[in-house]
Amino acid sequence: MKELSATKNIDVRFSEVDSMNIVWHGSYMLYFEDAREEFGRKFGLDYLTIYHNGYYAPLVDISFKYKRPIIYGMKPSITIHYRPTDAAKIVFDYEINNPEDGSLLATGRSVQVFMDLQYNLVLLNPEFYEEWKKKWL
């Protein structure tokens, strides 16, 4: 099975760091969101595509693990990896790396489910998502 991934460079902004000059933990979620948007652009699984097919894809689980600090002035990259599943959900793994030395700075995972436009949980993969998986996987 083909692995789908996308990489985005991050410019750490002053507003994203705490008083120790280290990226504040809440900023990691924004970096993950940026990676999901990059993946969506690259592979046609962006939020508007999901919405225009009659669904929402809310996050139901997200986690990350610090490995090394990300500090103001760094220019790390985040790579998002799609993890196939038969369930009606979208699962991504993340890696944030320092391109200067290749060191791993953080990892993470997110899970999104499908809801129809009336906010009902969808238990089977939507048809458009099955077609997307056939195209890319």
Comparing C-alpha atoms, which of 100, 131, 120 is closest to residue 56? 120
Cα gap 93→80, rounded to integer Å: 6
Residue 76 · residue 98 · CB < 8 Å: yes
pLDDT tens readout for residues 13-56:
999 999 999 999 999 999 999 999 999 999 999 999 999 999 99
pTM beyond 0.75: the answer is yes
pLDDT tens readout for residues 84-109:
999 999 999 999 999 999 999 999 99
User: How many other C-beta atoms can be found within 10 angstroms of the C-beta atom of residue 4?
Assistant: 18
Confidence of residue 2 (pLDDT cuts 50, 70, 90): confident
Confidence of residue 12 (pLDDT cuts 50, 70, 90): very high
User: How many other C-beta atoms can be found within 10 angstroms of the C-beta atom of residue 89?
Assistant: 17
What's the chain look like in SS3? CCCCEEEEECCCCHHHECCCCEECHHHHHHHHHHHHHHHHHHHCCCHHHHHHCCEECCEEEEEEEECCCCECCCCCEEEEEEECCCCCEEEEEEEEECCCCCCEEEEEEEEEEEEECCCCEECCCCHHHHHHHHHHC
